[in-house]
Amino acid sequence: MSVENKGRVAVVTGAGSGIGRAAALALLGDGWNVVLAGRRLEPLEAVAEESGAGVRVLAVPTDVVRPESVQALFAAAVDRFARVDLLFNNAGVGNPAGPFEDWTEAQWKGVVDINLSGMFYCIQQAFRTMKAQTPRGGRIINNGSISATTPRPNSIAYTATKHAVKGLTKTASLDGRKYDIAVGQVDVGNAMTELASRMAKGVPQANGELGIEPLIDVKIVGQSVLYMANLPLEANVLFHTIMATKMPFVGRG
């Protein structure tokens, strides 16, 4: 356990799988206390057991779409660990299948409610908690995705919400200054998760062709989140892009 991390507390949403799981395990491995949040208890308990962190980990079933559920999450964190030093605001869903002109209202709202409104509710509750605690302040890391800047074909809902997350990050970063709250964003490109595994089989490219894309181990993303989390509050990584080196992202693909 890192001595400087003893007693520091993180809340990780979407912690039962993928990037959230990787970040939670990285934080726990570095000595943090971690509150695991997700819609289903079983995956959260599996992560807790895998970590071997004992009393330093707490699983709290949470639906980020419901503000009262988010409030209960932070209340549970404070009740168990007395404060919150970090929110990794990670919960999210992918794009509905098929062309967007065929989507229903529910399919569109399902992405917006989780990827945008849910992220806002978590930021809001983190601010309420961090500005009231002693010592005051903390850090928020939003999961933005490279779709926060650059879309893929047929990704209008996911891309729109991730562009919006970039606005949340910038504005919360400004608004957090007076409370000693640092806000940044990690933009991930092609980490091996259930959401991104289709990249290895071939996904539509901008020119209309299907292309197999390289992926990185999701543990690398966990280490990026840990790096940002361990910065002193007087320093902030506003935007951090971690991606497969050879993925078609920069330039003309």
**Could you confirm whether 158 is annotated as catalytic?**
yes
Could you give the CA distance from residue 89 to residue 71 in angstroms, rounded to a whole number? 14
DSSP β-ladder status, 239-243 and 181-189? parallel
Would you mind telling me the total number of residues written for the chain in this entry? Answer: 253
- HEC assignment per residue over the chain: CCHHHCCCEEEEECCCCHHHHHHHHHHHHCCCEEEEEECCHHHHHHHHHHHCCHHHEEEEECCCCCHHHHHHHHHHHHHHHCCCCEEEECCCCCCCCCCHHHCCHHHHHHHHHHHHHHHHHHHHHHHHHHHHCCCCCEEEEEECCHHHCCCCCCCHHHHHHHHHHHHHHHHHHHHHHHHCEEEEEEEEECECCCCCHHHHCCEECCCCCEECCCCECHHHHHHHHHHHHCCCCCCCCCEEEEECCCCCCCCCC
Active-site annotation holder among 121, 158, 179, 227: 158
Active-site annotation, residues:
158
